Amino acid sequence: MAVTSDSTRIPLIAGNWKLNLDHLQSIAFVQKLAWTLQDAKLDFRKVEVAVFPPFTDIRSVQSLISADHYPLVFGSQDVSEHDSGAFTGEISGAFLKALDCSYAIVGHSERREYHHETNEQVGAKAAAAIRHGLVPVICVGETAEDLESRGPSAVPVEQLTIALAAVPKNADIVVAYEPVWAIGSGQAATPDQAEAVAAQLRLVVAEALGNDAAERTRILYGGSVKSGNIASFLREPNVDGALVGGASLVVDEFAKIARFQSHVGV
């Protein structure tokens, strides 16, 4: 099934804070980020900037963004596949929606590895997010061993195919292609490598959710993204943004990444 690249997809620059910044630090961070981007006259019609704080920060981030009308959005780093009930420690998509979250990351490789999340669970979490009006950011990516034994796209394609079996046709989703070997390693994939897998993943979305969904789904690259390499990824037709870990914790660096369109030659 042919899916063409569509320049109307607004790039998404997403900062995954992981287990960093408490609720007070989150307020200082978001304030400084908003001021930095506003001072730099970032055109928020051309790029969406999102932060993914720990759960305990979300209420603070919501209050600040809503009170000061910052053009930033936010989401959670995970969501329960369950809506309510006896699930100690879980967070419902309903609660996240009530705090104005736009997105929920599901299937980050750290959760797959440390919490043994399966592709089926990732699909159930994506479906739960959608049920509550959140857009799931579905993370997929191969380990160094997968790359060696199966090449770059087999595992991400398999992960996404299984997860999307639980997702309704035509749903709004974001996909993050994050080669595990590139996360936090300082060794990013090349733009060509990211593009090749992203193109395959778009075909998976087309097959599972339909061509319209595939055309509008943003596929992010993640793994050692910095201000110095972001523009090269965003030049690729199937790469529509970035999921940023380490570099999202430094305001000036994250702001430079969000301003990739102003980098020379873009």
Is 228 a residue that touches ligand PEP (CB under 6 A)? no
* Burial (CB count <10 Å: 0-12, 13-18, 19+), residue 148: exposed
**Per rule CB under 6 A, is residue 244 in the interface with ligand PEP?**
yes
Q: In whole angstroms, how close is the CB of 230 to ligand PEP at the nearest point?
A: 11
From the list 178, 195, 236, 240, which residue makes contact with ligand PEP (rule: CB under 6 A)?
A: 178
Asked if 137 and 129 touch (Cβ cutoff 8 Å), the reply is: no
Closest listed residue to residue 204, CA positions, set 217, 192, 190: 217
The answer to whether 195 and 238 have CB atoms below 8 angstroms apart is yes
113 in catalytic set: no
Look up 115 and say whether it is catalytic. no
Residue in 108, 110, 117, 142 annotated catalytic: 108
Closest CA to 175 of 143, 133, 206, 131: 206
Nearer to ligand PEP, 42 or 220 (CB): 220
Closest by CA to 249, choosing from 215, 233, 226, 229, is: 226
**Residue 193 interacting with ligand PEP (CB under 6 A):** no
Q: In 3-state terms, what secondary structure has residue 122?
A: helix
The single-letter code of the amino acid at 240 is: D
CB of 167 to ligand PEP, least distance (A): 21
Q: How far is the CB of 207 from ligand PEP (least distance, A)?
A: 25
Out of 184, 252, 262, 266, which residue is the one contacting ligand PEP (CB under 6 A)? 184
Tell me which of 48, 81, 110, 178 is the catalytic residue.
178
Contact 132, 164 (CB under 8 A): no
* Binds ligand PEP (CB under 6 A): choice among 136, 152, 179, 245: 245
Coil, helix or strand at residue 139: strand
Q: By CB under 6 A, is residue 224 in contact with ligand PEP? A: yes
- Of the candidates 104, 122, 173, 225, which one interacts with ligand PEP according to CB under 6 A? 225
Backbone φ/ψ region at 18: left (φ over 0), alpha (ψ -120 to 50), beta? left
Q: Which stretch binds ligand PEP (CB under 6 A): 1-9, 118-126, 211-219, 239-247?
A: 239-247
What are 1's two structure tokens?
């099934």
The answer to whether 183 contacts ligand PEP (rule: CB under 6 A) is yes
Tokens of 242: 């970035």
Asked if 53 interacts with ligand PEP (CB under 6 A), we say no
Which residues are the active-site residues?
108, 178
Site for ligand PEP, rule CB under 6 A: 16, 178, 183-184, 222-225, 243-247
